[in-house]
Each structure stands twice: as structure tokens, then as C-alpha cells.
Amino acid sequence: MSARALLFRNARLVDPATGRDGAGSLLVEDGVIADIAWGTAPEGPEGAEIVDCAGSVLAPGLVDMRAFVGEPGAEHRETLKTASEAAAAGGVTTIVCMPDTDPIVDDPAIVEFIRRRARDTAIVNVCPAAALTKGLAGREMTEFGLLRDAGAVAFTDGARSVTSAQVMRRALTYARDLDVLILHHTEEPDLVGEGVMNAGERATRLGLTGVPREAEIIMLERDLRLLRLTGGRYHAAMISTAESVALVARAKDEGLAVTCGVSINHLSLNELDIGDYRTFLKLSPPLRAEDDRQAVIEALARGTIDVVVSDHNPQDVETKRLPFAEAADGAIGLETLLAAGLRLVHDERMPLARLLAALAVRPADILGLPQGRLARGAPADLILLDPDDPYTLDARELRSRSKNSPFDEARLQGRVLMTYVAGRLVHRYLR
């Protein structure tokens, strides 16, 4: 029996694929978008469920390219179920989970386990990324072809960088031949060393060891040179400095198949927000100076930076309630990704369609997924959004099993009212 048709009326439709933003209606049948009408409502089939959007924004669900989920192995921090509930509440309908699990996702059987487990317990789409190297050790490549066939959408060592240029060269060569995506964390670990925050005056004043910007820049420049040598498709998971922006812009001008992301934390916060050793803001890469934050915002607005990610990395109190230098890196972000991003819209740094392009259509295109757009035949992964609803975030109310949010007690504006996956309601905000 087919699912009941849905007709969304009186909506402000925002399609990030075309940039179109205006009043209209949308019809969903059998889990896909069946019709779109800008200005006038299409006639729904008899018995269709009517959703009166009352002028709220109807847009594609978000696609988050970087989420660390504890399952398997660290379910006390997060499970696929709790991560998916947090994602749905934040308007994220597809998450790419990193391979930093126990066991590590370097075998087709683990990819299949995650996909099966997600089917059984998650309420949003879950796409596993497989390890780039066996055991995330950076020495021996995994079986790209077998892992791809099992359902891996990209290859990455998660929060680790591949230090061997030869291994990365081989990986890019195989990626080219198999047409798969390399997704790399760009930090030179020897330069990171014992560093725990951005190197500079603020780190000195706090008595903390700094991480120089060059740790990111040198690794990124090496990767781009190897990309020139080999071809293939390469995605820098997160960049955070003005010089990294310049490197990516130059590589794109040369025609290299390079894309890059930025975390919502680096768009919203800078090193001063660490205040008096707030461990929820201990991240990798670290929060940068304000000049770098402004540079990545401008790069996102003009399209040099392709995607925005949550970098969702749940940590429990045992790993965060420690002195800053000893605390684990990472912050949760699935539920606050869109609301924090809307600050850029409210500050008139970019239109809503541009922000949603970086949160939905661009990541979907890079991953080869059909989501992220309002188009006939596209999956009906949709969000209904009130972009102006103000509130103060209480991390205790977040759906994630861990509560290490850098936006705890922050004033945010914008709330997801409903989230649909394949036309099925998976989240409703009750005022």
C-alpha cells in the first residue's frame, strides 16, 4: 500500500540548487517530490494530507558530511538512534558517519553492519564513510572497491591525517581509477604536537601550548600538490585559515577536482570564545583568530568553500570535565548546525539559499546523492523552518546522548518545525 500523498501549501519554498526563493506549494507522493508550484498550489490527489506551512520555509533536508557516532564501540557517547534523533531535530536528513569506531570501518562487513543497524534504529539516512587506511594507521590502504560496493560513500581516516605522502599519492590514484572521494583531515600531527588551541597571544595568555596555522596549511598544500600529480577527487574536510582558503581557490582556478568544507564552529566562534578554559570549545582544528573566521565566512559566501559540516563529535563528562590541555577534542553539533548557520543570514552575510546550498545541495552533489534539492523526482527529504524563532539553547534538552555543545546558553534564532525523510514525518517541534 503506497503512503498517503502530502500537499504542502502556503510555504516559502527555498531551492538551494537553483537559488529560487518564493511562495509556493509542493506535492509529495510515494516518498518523492511529485510536483512543485511557485505561486499557485498544485491540485493534490483525493485524500492527500494537507500541511499548511503558514508562510514558513520549506527546504531540502540538510546533508552533513562529517559526524562522529559512537556506534559501534562507544554507545555511551552516541548511538545511531540518538544521533539520528538529534539530526532530525536540527533539520539534518542525511549524515555521513566517520570510521573512527570500534571496530574501525575498514572492512566491508562493518560497513554493512552500520547500514543494517541504521535501517533498524535510525530515523534519518545514514551513509558510512570507510577508513582510508587499515586501522586508521596511515600505512596501508583499505580495499576501496570492496568497501564502495558495500555502501561506503567516501574514504577518510576521520580525525587523523595521513602523514605519508606516498600513501596519499596511491590513495588519490586509486580514487581516480575507481571514481571515489577522498575526504581528508588536514593537520600535520608533528606540527600540532602537544598544542591544544590556536597559537598566538591568546594561547600565551592562557598558558596553553599553541597549534600553528601552518599545521593545516602545510598538509593541505601537500595534498593539493599530490592531487595535481594524480588527478582524482579530493575533499578537504575542514579548513579554518585565510591561507587555506587561498590555496583552495587557486587549485579550483587550475581546474583540480577539489572541494572543501568548514565546520559551523569555525564560522560562528573564534579563539576568544574559549574564555576561561571552556573545554567544550576544544576542537581540532582549533578555533582561530577573528581574521581567519571572517575569511572563511567570505569564502563560503562566494562559493570557494563548498560545504558546512557539524563536525558532530560527542564526548562524555569523563573526557570533557578535565583541565583544558587534557580534555578530548570535539563538540556536538547536529541539532544546532542550521540554527547557528542562520546567524550568517540574519547578519546579512549571505542569503538563505546560499547557506542551504552549502548545507544540502553541495554535499549531496559531492557525495553523488540525489538529496538536497526541490525538484520533481528528488527524495522528499524536507524541513519546515521558522528562521526567525528566537530562543536560548539549553544543552540539557538536546537529543544527543552527550551534551558537549559549544552553543550551550547561546542565543539562537531559527527552529526546525518539521522534518520529513522520504515523505515520512520524523520530527515535529511542539511549541
pLDDT in tens, 281-310: 999 999 999 999 999 999 999 999 999 999
Alpha-helix residue ranges (DSSP H) falling in 158-276? 165-178, 189-192, 201-206, 214-230, 242-253, 264-268
Domain edge (last residue) among 319, 336, 367 = 367
Structural contact between residues 362 and 307, judged by C-beta atoms closer than 8 angstroms? yes
**Whether residue 263 sits in one domain with residue 120:** yes
Hey, which residues does 379 pair with through a beta bridge?
Answer: 32
Which tens digits make up the pLDDT trace of 261-285? 999 999 999 999 999 999 999 999 9
Phi, psi dihedrals of residue 2, rounded to the nearest 5°: -75, 155
- Let me know: does 118 contact 89? Beta carbons within 8 Å: no
The domain boundary, picked from 345, 367, 389, lies at 367
Q: What is the pLDDT of residues 4-21, one digit of tens each?
A: 899 999 999 999 999 999
Residue 374 domain-assigned?
Answer: no
How far apart, in whole angstroms, are the C-alpha atoms of residue 216 and residue 257?
A: 19
Handedness of CA 340, 344, 350, 351 (dihedral sign): positive
Q: Are residues 227 and 244 in the same domain?
A: yes
Q: Is residue 299 part of a domain?
A: yes
Identify whether 190 is a catalytic site residue: no
Catalytically annotated residue among 15, 21, 223, 311: 311
Domain of 44: which CATH number? 2.30.40.10
For residues 354 and 396, state if they share a domain. Answer: no
- Residues 279 and 404 both lie in one domain: no
Amino acid found at 277: Y
Claim: this prediction has a pTM higher than 0.75? yes
160 and 239 in a single domain? The answer is: yes
Task: Give domain status of residue 117, yes or no.
Answer: yes
The letter for the amino acid at 313 is N
The count of residues in the chain is 431
Sorting pLDDT into bands at 50, 70 and 90, what band is 42? low
- Integer-rounded Cα radius of gyration of the chain: 21
What the block records as the C-alpha cell of 337 is 548546525
Q: pLDDT band at 44, cuts 50/70/90?
A: confident
The reply to whether 92 and 130 lie within a common domain is: yes
Same domain for 109 and 77: yes
43 and 161 share a domain? no
In a domain, 339, yes or no: yes
Question: What local confidence, expressed as pLDDT, does residue 4 receive?
Answer: 82
Instruction: Decide if 160 is inside a domain.
Output: yes
Sign of the torsion formed by the C-alpha atoms of 87, 93, 98 and 104: positive
Same domain for 131 and 224? yes
Confidence of residue 2 (pLDDT cuts 50, 70, 90): low
Domain's final residue, options 317, 346, 367? 367
Residues 157 and 258 in one domain: yes
Q: HSE (CB half, 13 Å, CA atoms) of 233?
A: 15
Helices 165-178, 214-230: axis angle to 10 degrees equals: 50
- What per-residue confidence (pLDDT) applies to 207? 97
> What is the CATH classification number for the domain harbouring 196?
3.20.20.140
What does the pLDDT read at residue 47? 84
Residue 389: domain span: 6-58+380-428
Q: Could you tell me if residue 375 is inside a domain?
A: no
Please check the confidence at residue 116 and state whether its pLDDT lies above 80. Answer: yes
Is 373 inside any structural domain? no
Average per-residue pLDDT for the chain: 96
Most confident region among 1-5, 36-40, 379-383 by mean pLDDT: 379-383
How many structural domains is the chain composed of?
Answer: 2
What pLDDT, in 10s, does the model give residues 377-399?
Answer: 999 999 999 999 999 999 999 99
Examine residue 1 and state whether it is found in any structural domain, yes or no. no
Q: Which long-range contacts (CB under 8 A, 24 or more apart) does 199-202 make?
A: 200/271, 200/289, 202/271, 202/272, 202/274, 202/289
Q: Which residues contact 178 (CB under 8 A, 6 or more apart)?
A: 144, 145, 148
Is the confidence at residue 366, as pLDDT, over 80? Answer: yes
**DSSP code of residue 14:** E
Are residues 77 and 46 both part of a single domain? no
Residue 1: predicted pLDDT: 36
- Asked if 195 and 146 sit in the same domain, the reply is yes
Mean pLDDT of 108-122: 98
Q: In sequence order, what are the residues at sequence separation of 6 or more whose Cβ sits closer than 8 angstroms to the Cβ of residue 170?
A: 141
